[in-house]
Amino acid sequence: MRTQTAGQITFLADYRRGYAREGEIIAKITDLNNFEIEAEIPVTYLGYIEAAKSISGRGLDGSQLEMQIRVSLPVQNLRSATRTMRFSVNGGIPSILQADNAVVVMQVPTTSPTPLLVVPKDAVLPLAVGHMVYLADGDRARRQIIQIGAAVDDGFIVKKGLTAGQKVIVRGNEQLSDGKEIQIGGGKKAGGEAGSGQKSNGASKPAELKGSN
């Protein structure tokens, strides 16, 4: 007998004699490269999951994975007020999760996405009582105290002190002081001396708004 699916045999019927009836299961084969995640999701969260680009999850050993919704079954559990949703896994699935009934802890969004202001990590300088950045205000550096939150990608969430689109200096900011003349892109002021009238050879990036659940 041949199967159309390559994989590992996880069940084989014990037919020592006799015949199998038509339609009976004689073997089960698991495709180790085609796992998906199934979860019972409360109906109040369905819209948030459908609006999300991806869902994060982890195995019991801490291994990470990203998922996307594949299908939501139109059957509701009356007792738990949940529906079954199935998720495809982006990229390869960790080997420890390549088993039926493996446990995946999912981070399910429970609210609508909220815009977050994010500033590049290289722009943030520590202070004794918080953090600060230097803003590119024309040809001058302007000191700005900020309050930051969690780290995301290559930046920090800004809770207070910045607005979207403000340009922050990300290179050469350690040598700056409030009001010091700057030139984005490089070069020195004509006739300038080191430490006296020298322009900062820096680069700037705007603070960005990003969505978050």
Q: What is the mean pLDDT of residues 61-73?
A: 91
Say yes or no to pLDDT of 199 above 70: no
Q: What is the pTM of this model?
A: 0.52
Domains in the chain: ranges and CATH: 34-107 (no CATH), 114-212 (2.40.420.20)
Tell me the average pLDDT of the chain: 82
Cα torsion 158, 110, 58, 88 to 10°: value is -110
Write down the pLDDT at residue 12. Answer: 82
Say yes or no to pLDDT of 197 above 60: no
Nearest 5°: phi and psi at 179?
A: 90, 0
Tens digits of residue pLDDT in 29-43: 877 778 889 999 999
Q: What is the mean pLDDT of residues 85-93?
A: 89
Q: What is the mean pLDDT of residues 101-113?
A: 87
